[in-house]
Amino acid sequence: MRTCRSNWRRSILEVVIGGLLAVCVSSCASPVTTLFEEVLAIPDGKSIVYIYRPSEVTEPTSLPGATKVSYNGETLAWFPTGGYYPLLVEPGVIEVGTTFDTLKVNIRPGEKYFLRVREMVEHRLVNYISPVLPEEAMRGLMDCRLVQVEGR
């Protein structure tokens, strides 16, 4: 009798553990979907500027926390690691910045621009923003999530 009870408990334990393993394996085996969504149609007379802060997966030097990003002198949003925002803009010179850096970009109509926010630790943490080639930007954007921006 003791053997039956022991086997019964063992069987239940095996079923529970097996079920948990099946859930873990099925969730790990599910296809990875891209979080980033490219804007395919740019309205006439506008351009798109993708501002992004690479995720830790693609950028091992990224630090946790959010970085304030501004557009033409106004706070756009706080970008977490792995955050991006597609900004529709009019042609002309725009200014995009972080706490420590500002970049002016001359925007031409109908074009796509990619600006990456990165961290660099010198004597202190410095955030800077730089233009990036589309191929490099797309690799960095694949793991990024859309940043919520008020009023846009």
84-104 pLDDT, tens digit per residue, is 999 999 999 999 998 888 999
At 59 the pLDDT is 54
Cα separation, 85 vs 71, whole angstroms:
12
37: which residues sit within 8 A by CB, 6+ positions away? 146
At 58 the pLDDT is 53
As a whole number, the mean pLDDT across the chain is: 77
Average pLDDT estimate for 107-130: 84
Token digits for 133?
């080639």
At 50 the pLDDT is 97
Of 52-56, 71-75, 113-117, 140-144, which gets the smallest average pLDDT? 52-56
23-33 pLDDT, tens digit per residue, is 333 333 323 33
At 33 the pLDDT is 34
Residue 7: pLDDT band by 50, 70, 90 thresholds?
low
34-85 pLDDT, tens digit per residue, is 488 998 899 999 999 999 998 765 555 556 678 899 999 999 999 988 999 9
DSSP code, position 148: P
Amino acid in position 102: T
